[in-house]
Chain A
C-alpha cells in the first residue's frame, strides 16, 4: 500500500461524504478486492463475504461524513469490513473461526491455474506462522492496522500483539530468505 494510494482512498471517502457517486466507484475499484479478502479472513463462504463487502460499502457511504480526514482511510475501511464480517458470524451463531488461511484460496478472482507467484508465496509464508501470528501480521501488512488497532480488534494487550508481530516477522523473513519451510 503506497502513500499515494492511501491519499487517493482518503480523497474518495471525503468526496463520498459530499455525494460524489464517481468517488464511490473509484473507491470500489481501489479497495473492493482487498475488502473481499478481509471479509474472507473472517467468514468462510465466498458468497457471504461478498454480502459482507456490500454491507461494508453501505456503512462506508453512510459514515463517510464522520471520517476524520487525517486518519488512515484504508485501515478504517478494513475495520468496517472486519466488523461487518464478525457481526455476520455472530448473527449466524458461528464461532469467530481462526480461518485466516481461507482468504488466500477464495479471495482472488484468478483461477487456480493462474494463481500468481505472489499469491502462492503468501500462502506458503503464512503457513510457517501460528494462527494468532497469522492474524496479527495480516492485520499489520494487509489491513494497515496499527498495534493499537490490532490489540483492540483481537482483545489482547499491546505487548502481546507486539511480541506476536515480531515473532511472525522473523519467521516470515527466514522463510522468504530460504530458511524455514512449512511442513
Chain B
C-alpha cells in the first residue's frame, strides 16, 4: 500500500480526534440486534448466559477479587470493607437511551470538565501505578436537563514490565441507568461487584467484563489484553 504523508495524516487524525462520538446513531442496529437475540442459537451467541461462565469460574473469582481491590484503591473505598457509594444507590432510577444524551470529549488540560472525570474516576491514582499510554474521556449529558449521566473512558495502560492492558470504562451516576445496560444493572446492582463475562473474543484477545458500584456511581468495566487469562488477572491485580 502506498505510504501516507505523515503531516497530512496527522492533520486528518487530529480532525477526527476532536469529533464527538454519536453513539445514538447506532440505535436502530442495536434495536434490531436486541430483537434478533432470542432467535440465535445459544451456541452462536457471544454472551450466552450464566452457563457460559461456569467453565471459567476460577477466572471469574480471581477477577472479582481484583475488581474489589481495584475499586478500593482507585475509586476511594474507605478501607474498612465498605463501599461508600454502594449503600447510597437509589432504589429508583431514571432510565434513558442513547438518543437522550450527547457526548463531549474532555481533554486533561480542560480543568473544569476534567474535574468531573477525576472526581468520578480516580485517574491520578491509576497513573501512580501504571503508565497511561493513551487516555480518552467523554462526558455524556442529557439533552433535557444538561446534567451529566455518565462518563466514558478509554485507557491504554502499560505496566512496569511493558505489558499493555486496554480498559474501557463507563462510570454512570447513581440514579440513572442507560436502558441498554438495564439488564446488567438489575442483575448485579445488589451484588456490588460482579464479573458477567470473561472469554476470548473473536480476535483471540482475552476480554473481561465487570461491574461494581462505588462513590455515588456504578461502573461497567471492560478489560482487554492479549495475554492469557491468568496474566490478565495478574496485571489487573498489579493496579492494587
Contact = CB atoms under 8 A, between A and B. Distances in A.
A110 B102 CA distance: 11
B25 A36 contact: yes
Contact of A109 (B9, B22, B205): B22
B54 interface: no
B21 A58 contact: no
Interface in A118-151: 118-119, 121-122, 125, 137, 140-142, 146-147
Nearest to A120: B15
A125 B7 contact: no
B202 A1 contact: no
B186 interface: no
A32 B23 contact: yes
Judged by DSSP, the binding face of A is: helix
Interface in A3-32: 4, 7, 10-11, 14-30, 32
A17 B13 CA distance: 28
Nearest to A13: B202
Interface in B1-15: 1-2, 4-5, 7-9, 11-15
A41 interface: no
B29 interface: yes
Interface bracket on B: 35 or more
B19 A21 contact: no
Contacts of A110: 18, 20
Interface bracket on A: 35 or more
Contact of B7 (A14, A32, A176): A176
Interface of A: 1, 4, 7, 10-11, 14-30, 32-37, 50, 53-55, 57-58, 60-61, 69, 107-110, 116, 118-119, 121-122, 125, 137, 140-142, 146-147, 169, 172-173, 176
24 contacts: A7-B203, A14-B202, A15-B201, A18-B202, A19-B33, A21-B37, A21-B180, A25-B23, A28-B22, A33-B19, A36-B22, A36-B25, A54-B26, A57-B29, A58-B32, A60-B29, A121-B14, A122-B11, A141-B9, A141-B11, A142-B15, A146-B1, A169-B5, A172-B8
Given A28-B25, A141-B12, 7 more contacts: A1-B16, A7-B203, A18-B45, A30-B21, A32-B21, A58-B29, A108-B19
